[in-house]
Structure 1
Amino acid sequence: MSSYEDVVKTLQRENKVLGATVTASNNKVEELRRDNTVLEARMNTSENLVAELRRENMVLETRMSSSENEVAELKRENADRPKVAFSAGLTDAGSVGPFDTEITLKFSKVFTNIGQAYSPTTGIFTAPVRGVYNFRFTVWEVRTSTWTSGILYHNEKRMTLSYDYNDDVSYVSVSNALIIQLEKGDVVYMALPSGYGVFDDSHNRTIFSGFLLFAL
């Protein structure tokens, strides 16, 4: 009988050990399950973050593509926009005039002639496109007891007459500027009235300039 009780006690002890082991295993399984739940949550968070970053990248790529298209369009518009500008000095010869009749001043020293709308041979600017243009001129005279003047014409219309008299000072100069709307083919030029003189040399004292502000 004693031997049987010993076996029972041994089995009971082994069962307790096995129970403790099973409990420990169950606890480990639960811990692993909790770890897996945390990992799954972190994985879901990471996947959501990746998805959000992908969406943001798609938005940025769309905006970048739109910006590149806008830049390309602006480049095309700028390339198609007419470019017109000129600036010229009168002469290196010194005194011009006075004459008995009004003459067209031929500004022969071309500094800039983008668009080739100004002719140094005739002194005439011809508008290549309909638009709004800016013109500026300066006339200069060094001779005493001499009138100096400049007339700016739009086609046959006198737009402005500027003049001064050099009595006993070293020189006089007159400047003026106008913004004029021109049709394609309209002409603008400078004239010297009869009885007036101007002076120019390598210092480019008497000049005529113009440029297109914008086409219409």
Structure 2
Amino acid sequence: MNLHKEGYAIMAGTALLLLLINWAIRYFLPEMVGFHGLVLIASIVFFILIVQFFRVPKRVVTTHESRVVAPCDGKVVVIEEVVENEYFKGPRRQISIFMSPLNVHVNWNPISGVVQYFKYHPGLYLVAWHPKSSTDNERTTTVIRTSQGVEVLFRQIAGAVARRIRWYVKEGDTVQQSTQMGFIKFGSRVDVFVPLDAKIKVNLNDKTVGSVTVLAEL
């Protein structure tokens, strides 16, 4: 397992802050030996939690030109037919995956192809399960067209805790399925929109493994 580059500054800053706190407590409260130990233990636990946010596990990824794989780890919270108004302007099947703070936070390309559309939207920070989080929160929208001409749209959506979306794609890029496309710091949600005739391969409340779990067959 490796650590993601998006976490380097945060992990270093957190380590420095915790060291300063522990030094200050020992310097100004030298007689409170028991308290020193509690603060040290709490600091170690907190730092471990921060580090695990940025882990990048080694995986045997899934690649298939007609399969849409999960762009993130998490739990399937929505499978429904909706009208997608930003790009398609029409009905699509939406699959939404909720990322908890304990999930891996890397985002992967769900399909191979060419990025036809990309847009970053500043916005609010509603909780990820709020009905309007997909349209009102800070988010990105990416559309990839496969070699067969099928287009798949997916959105990185920030939440009440996650307020740092990163992306590594732009319009015109040729991307490979299951390669990294971005990162959402401290979790949130990713929505995937597939054609109505796609065969959905997951159910509500299923756990997904990013770059591995097959969401749908085109």
TM-score (norm 1): 0.28
Structure holding more helix per residue: 1
* Structure whose alpha-carbon radius of gyration is higher: 1
